[in-house]
Structure 1
């Protein structure tokens, strides 16, 4: 923490420290039995074993005591740039929708900040307003925001490229806000991005009546993916008007690869007009007969971009960034092929066409997924072993290393003891595709084949119970995965292209 803050300040960055949001552990009732604290509900699909934290009443004297003392100690330890973050109700339903109560809560949080630093400025995520729109009506939003003096709070309009909150809150009712691009959930792999909304959104927000926008921001849940989207968003902070995206992305390809190549530029223009929107694919979702496999773009554009990149490989193949992009585009094309085979599997099963089911399932499980796994394993940034070794490297003992690896496996699969947020942080990594997604799909095809052979109907609930054992087994598996790449990316991509190009 010391090193991070020192480096940020040396670069002229303004640091943000956490403040007290009102949450306390259950143990406070033992130490201070008269304190007024109420237990909140569960978070997401987790029960109270892992959530249901306590919230101090804003008028309880301990709120100010704890909040101010905490921040004073933090400032004493790390210094301050006078901006503090606190999110009392992020994805948590408040105890009351009474505007007076909500105003008291935000006022209590802010007073605990100014008790330690009279120059305090509160930085708050605006995610809660679009996440629970049934609760956060205009009166409730206004009350929470106006519990703090105008100008003493900055709101992050967290998902502004898709669900901007400023538009229906009159620019957060006078509080300054930052137009943010969220873009990525869970660190998922996949070519996507709402580039048209990103290109125009910040300028629309600045022109909005009585706009209180003060900047732009990046708030992804995961990085190391879709570099183009982030370069675009960062550049917009220096622009006075939207960019000509086709021209911009052609220049982006030249900058990225260090050479002007017509095929590479053409590939990026195709990706720009097609895949850069936002959704997911069936490869990384638990198999089902009712999966939504509809794409939001013309799949042929991605296949053509794949062809163009391969045609540019003779000139650009030595570029590390080109090789990364070739893996990523090939991976996206393979993901589309998985969608196609999943549809073939569903159609064959519904028509009781066992030979066709065996053919489609066999190609998917025994050809495409292993070959995709080999492709991913050829690049260091697409390795499960690298992900797991990174987790183990944080440990200070062998026992910690085992726990951290288990957590890393759980995060990209079940996310919780019983699949509470199943596949939320899915990744397409060498090792994971073969030993997790591949095994799931293999079981799915086997169960469907058995259903046709026996005449017994397929039941999704029964399959979910069976496949959970596969998923849980992967989390607790001790298999070691390589943290260094193997194979030639260009050769593997070319072989996949020759075999599968439509």
Structure 2
């Protein structure tokens, strides 16, 4: 009996030593795995425990994600080490701070979900395995155990369409390019950004295999895109089957919708799931959002359609669950009430702004929420990958605990981050993903104290003061708006700017002096934090915000001077504004996260030939500027939707645009008759260029920030 027990213990130890968690620790800091003792232990719900065994910190949990979450909790709140998108490596102390009293935390809810379809285009369109590996580590350490998995899924469609008789040229006209695949997946458009070369499909499929292998090693459940009736819009002529035309989306032709009651639906769905399983295996979850953002549903029996979609999915995997996004009219009442609870999981996509779960204050209030279907409390936060400090901390915290206590909370199953773009505002994601592990409600003021200490490695009074200001200003948005207050630097010039994008806003909800005040507090202690990666990133971001806020105020003064026909004031203020853009460019050039070159170089690296590199670079350039063709950019409202406050883009795209506008107004002040600028014609040539933008940082923010602050604010 003793030999059996000893053998079992050795097997458990061997299994733990070869676990992905030890490999994760080695990527954080080579040798770090020797400082921890990892223990897998059965139990429900998900939990982690922090304990001590000699000089080693013990982290035990019921699965690898729970253990990775425990390691992250230890690093933040015991060792003062915060790993984030701006840095997933750190030097750990030779001897780790001890856990003096065992700490146990349990997740109050089952799921922690990751990604919006849009994230795959606005942030991840051109990621390689190295970048994906860092993200997967971040996900595990933040408790993510369920994530949308879209990479390479276009190969499934490529092969299904081949089997249906489509030619390579026709397939290329249907599947979107790398920068726009998200909206193709969501049935919004066809072909824009393509056609993709054959090498794209093979490389993305190989990348997805690596991603899925790591997800499965950690125990993260992938959410595959399911089949809900999408076909090329010419399917009637090509395949001889009746399909519905859902209309246009922002000027683009939507794919056709195959009626689920049509016998062809079952056949094509079968081909789709068979091809997916062949390439990527089965999934427990499949995401589908028929009629996303206004698709025409006239004449469709929505209840019957839902049952047919579910049946096709269940035929592929009887245990599968249908994941839906709650956005605008979706999920349709008729569809979710036609399905038995347990078969559906709904992402309340913007619980912090427009919740549907039953919050009476919401503009999308639904009295019965999701009709008893399982759902997740999600935070959308970011639109278009736009840069800017923004959040609704109080709303996120209070809304979550209110949802838990609400009658509709009986079917609440977890939280989700459903942002359109990532790699910004790390504080908000830390907050959201800690909620399930904190059973007792708390205030943002309390939480920020711990965050600041973890973020910078020590409890600094100046930085504590700075973040309390941010908590009441940038991270306390009192109104519903689509993401950050948008910098007017990135807006198409006009006398009055409502927002840089069609659906965003440039109206500040806090006094602009607040961001300047925070920047000054950071600068007071900046020399002490030289080399501290988190501090340097945050200093760059808060300085960027202070300059953007000043620009928003200055633009209104320029308009006032122009309308008063004060030529001197107009000339001086417009020159100050243009110089502000250049200072912003200089400031942001110090960090790779804020450089255009980082985005473009990743895009080009995906190409094997010069032709492929040009295609991918064009996708990357178009997405962040015009977004689409003239119809979609201007009449569809998509221009500047994905604007980015980045070094390189500020200097070579936004600056010339504003200068051309100010030159026009100056001529008009002088009495000249001039035509309005055709902005699309002005912008499109930049998308076709191939100027190289470096990704390596220029200068150090600790040196650059004080100089810029003095020049801009005179202090």
Confirm or deny a common fold (TM above 0.5): yes
2:524 aligned partner: 311
- Aligned match for 1:43, one of 234, 237, 249: 249
Q: Deviations over 1:161-198 (max 9, x none)?
A: 10001113312011111111011011110000111111
> Residues of 2 paired with 1:43 and 1:68: CA distance?
28
- The answer (yes or no) to whether the contact 2:225–2:286 under 8 Å persists in 1 is yes
- The answer (yes or no) to whether the contact 2:512–2:550 under 8 Å persists in 1 is no
Secondary structure of 1:179's aligned partner: strand
Deviation at 1:289, TM superposition (A): 0.9
**Unpaired runs of at least 5, structure 2:** 1-207, 359-364, 478-483, 499-505
Superposition map of 1:101-500 within 5 A: 101-129=301-329, 141-167=332-358, 168-169=365-366, 170-211=368-409, 212-276=411-475, 277=477, 278-292=484-498, 293-365=506-578, 367-418=579-630, 419=633, 420=636, 421-454=638-671, 456=673, 462-463=676-677, 465=678, 467-500=679-712
2:270 aligned partner: 68
- The answer (yes or no) to whether the contact 2:394–2:443 under 8 Å persists in 1 is no
2:290 aligned partner: 88
Q: Deviations over 1:230-284 (max 9, x none)?
A: 1111111211133221122122111111122111111111111101234323121
2:233 aligned partner: 26
Deviation at 1:63, TM superposition (A): 0.8
> Residues of 2 paired with 1:343 and 1:422: CA distance?
22
> Residues of 2 paired with 1:76 and 1:472: CA distance?
41
> Residues of 1 paired with 2:238 and 2:487: CA distance?
50
Deviation at 1:151, TM superposition (A): 1.7
> Residues of 2 paired with 1:24 and 1:355: CA distance?
60
- The answer (yes or no) to whether the contact 2:388–2:486 under 8 Å persists in 1 is yes
> Residues of 1 paired with 2:210 and 2:651: CA distance?
39
> Residues of 2 paired with 1:240 and 1:259: CA distance?
26
Secondary structure of 1:74's aligned partner: helix
Give TM-score, length-normalised by structure 2: 0.65
1:55 aligned partner: 257
Higher helix share: 1
> Residues of 2 paired with 1:246 and 1:95: CA distance?
46
> Residues of 2 paired with 1:441 and 1:303: CA distance?
24
- The answer (yes or no) to whether the contact 2:235–2:256 under 8 Å persists in 1 is no
> Residues of 2 paired with 1:91 and 1:479: CA distance?
36
> Residues of 2 paired with 1:81 and 1:71: CA distance?
10
- The answer (yes or no) to whether the contact 1:158–1:182 under 8 Å persists in 2 is yes
> Residues of 1 paired with 2:443 and 2:254: CA distance?
48
Shift of the 300–78 alpha-carbon distance from structure 1 to 2, 3 Å rule, reads same
> Residues of 2 paired with 1:492 and 1:118: CA distance?
59
> Residues of 2 paired with 1:71 and 1:237: CA distance?
33
Secondary structure of 2:213's aligned partner: helix
Considering only aligned residues, what root-mean-square deviation do their CA atoms show, in Å?
Answer: 1.7
Deviation at 1:41, TM superposition (A): 0.7
**Which deviates further from its counterpart, 349-358 or 417-426?**
417-426
> Matched residue pairs, number?
480
Deviation at 1:70, TM superposition (A): 1.4
- The answer (yes or no) to whether the contact 1:302–1:333 under 8 Å persists in 2 is yes
> Residues of 1 paired with 2:594 and 2:682: CA distance?
22
**Which deviates further from its counterpart, 321-330 or 22-31?**
22-31
Deviation at 1:491, TM superposition (A): 2.0
- The answer (yes or no) to whether the contact 2:374–2:413 under 8 Å persists in 1 is yes
Secondary structure of 2:376's aligned partner: strand
Secondary structure of 1:205's aligned partner: helix
Q: Deviations over 1:395-415 (max 9, x none)?
A: 121101011111111111110
> Residues of 1 paired with 2:413 and 2:229: CA distance?
27
> Residues of 2 paired with 1:142 and 1:26: CA distance?
27
Give TM-score, length-normalised by structure 1: 0.92
Deviation at 1:478, TM superposition (A): 2.1
Q: Deviations over 1:453-497 (max 9, x none)?
A: 0154x87xx23x1x3233112111222111211122122210121
**Unpaired runs of at least 5, structure 1:** 131-135
> Residues of 2 paired with 1:266 and 1:254: CA distance?
12
Deviation at 1:42, TM superposition (A): 0.8
Deviation at 1:71, TM superposition (A): 1.1
